[in-house]
Amino acid sequence: MEMKEETSAGMLGRPKGGAADTVSEKLREYYVSIQNDGIPEKFLDLLEKLDEAEKAAKK
């Protein structure tokens, strides 16, 4: 018999372990790696150009 985990709402959730946990862990690892990469310089340049264009439009 497989034990089910109780959710914060007090209802039975999905079983512990298995493919869903593996996928969740891999997604967390990927998210952390993306956070650690930082913002690409090209994107920062585009944001700077947008700020300049907005300031020029307000004049």
CB 7 within 8 A of CB 13: yes
Judged against a pLDDT cut of 80, whether residue 6 lies above it is answered with: no
Stronger pLDDT, 12 or 34, i.e. the higher one: 34
Stronger pLDDT, 14 or 57, i.e. the higher one: 57
Judged against a pLDDT cut of 60, whether residue 3 lies above it is answered with: no
pLDDT score of 14? 62
> What is this structure's pTM?
0.43
Q: What is the 3-state secondary structure (H, E, C) of the chain?
A: CCCEEECCCCCEEEECCCHHHHHHHHHHHHHHHHHHHCCCHHHHHHHHHHHHHHHHHHC
Dump pLDDT digits (tens) for 19-50. Answer: 889 999 999 999 999 988 888 999 999 999 99
